[in-house]
Amino acid sequence: MDCDKCDGSGFIFDEEARKAYPCECRPARLARKRAAAVAGRIPKAYRGVSFEREPLPSLERSHPHVVRAVRRYCDTITERTQAGRGMWFTGPPGTGKTTLAMLISKRAMEADRTVAIYSLPRLLAMLRETFRDDATHSLSQLIDMLCSVDLLHIDDVGAEQTSPWVLEQLYTVVNTRYEEQRSIIVTTNLIDIAAEQPDQELREQIGDRTVSRLYEMCGDPLPMFGADRRLEAQFNLPEPVPTSTTPDPFDDSQWDERPSGYGRSR
């Protein structure tokens, strides 16, 4: 991000007085840097997602309304993320939820928005791990980082091990993002659209307050249905994501071995 005034250093040098002053771009520069610390990459299995490639044409035939909504979101991604609008996808495993969410995250990165992608188990593990003696970041630093990215993509909200403490931290992240109008993308298999109270399981799992915020930020969840397509696409299985064994919460190595350059401070 080059700046006309400071040439990208964040400081303006007064040669005569031999002094440096912070440039007006510096706060934004620092926020980007904080965000970059958690900014994720698209997992390898989803790197090639695009509207033009399978499974998108198939998904468009089976879920025209959902894919149309995703297209609209992607076409206006800058405005939507600036307004803190999100999206969430629900349905059984293997129906294309993560694929659609990754498509949005990829578009957001292409539009130069900072994006962090975590599975919920990994996000919760990161929060817990801030209490380890060898933790690289404090809890407040981590929460600050998770709140500074333009888009937080939480994948696979399911039946994970939780505790009241961890749910409180999750609420803090979601609520802070809500208050600062920053977008969230979520996928979950915990909403059963056929049930009398479709979101009951989700509310029990991550708490009423967090679920209410998600409705406010993302509207109604987009329902995916059908058979588990993963069984048919075994050649394309995503890498399993470790849940609680990662010592460094900022180590993205299970997502990818090569940095993509996205989400880095420049």
Select from 80-88, 96-104, 173-181, 215-223 the region that touches Mg ion (CB under 5 A).
96-104
Please tell me what DSSP assigns to residue 25: T
Total residues in contact with ligand ADP, by rule CB under 6 A: 17
Question: Least distance (Å) from Mg ion to the CB of residue 89?
Answer: 9
Which residues between 70 and 99 bind ligand ADP (CB under 6 A)? Answer: 93-99
Nearer to ligand ADP, 96 or 121 (CB): 96
Question: Least distance (Å) from ligand ADP to the CB of residue 251?
Answer: 23
Select from 57-65, 94-102, 125-133, 221-229 the region that touches Mg ion (CB under 5 A).
94-102
187 binds ligand ADP (CB under 6 A): yes
Which residues between 227 and 256 bind ligand ADP (CB under 6 A)? Answer: 229-230, 233, 236
Nearest residue by C-beta to Mg ion?
98
Question: Least distance (Å) from Mg ion to the CB of residue 27?
Answer: 36
Binding track, positions 26-65, relative to ligand ADP; x by CB under 6 A: -----------------------------x--xx--x---
DSSP sequence for 38-93: H-----GGGTT--TTSTTHHHHHHH-HHHHHHHHHHHHTHHHHHHTT--EEEE-ST
Which CA distances in Å does 125 have to 98, 165, 206, 246, 265?
20, 12, 14, 8, 25
Burial class (CB in 10 A: 0-12, 13-18, 19+), 263: buried
Strands 115-119 and 11-14, sheet pairing: unpaired
Residue 135, phi then psi, degrees to nearest 5: -60, 140
Q: Report the run of H or E that residue 221 belongs to, with start and end.
A: none
Q: Return the one option of Mg ion, ligand ADP, none that residue 203 interacts with (CB less than 5 to 8 A, by type).
A: none
Q: Looking at the DSSP assignment, which residues form a beta bridge with residue 71?
A: none
Nearer to ligand ADP, 81 or 99 (CB): 99
> Which of helix, strand or coil describes residue 202?
helix
Q: How far is CA 249 from the centre of its chain?
A: 15
Q: Return the one option of ligand ADP, Mg ion, none that residue 74 interacts with (CB less than 5 to 8 A, by type).
A: none
158 binds ligand ADP (CB under 6 A): no
Question: Least distance (Å) from ligand ADP to the CB of residue 241?
Answer: 12
Assigned token pair, 142: 């981590």
Question: Least distance (Å) from Mg ion to the CB of residue 194?
Answer: 20
Select from 72-80, 90-98, 124-132, 134-142 the region that touches Mg ion (CB under 5 A).
90-98
User: CB count, 10 Å around CB of 121?
Assistant: 20
98 binds Mg ion (CB under 5 A): yes
Burial class (CB in 10 A: 0-12, 13-18, 19+), 86: buried
Q: Which chain residues interact with ligand ADP by CB under 6 A? A: 55, 58-59, 62, 93-99, 187, 224, 229-230, 233, 236
Q: Which chain residues interact with Mg ion by CB under 5 A? A: 97-98
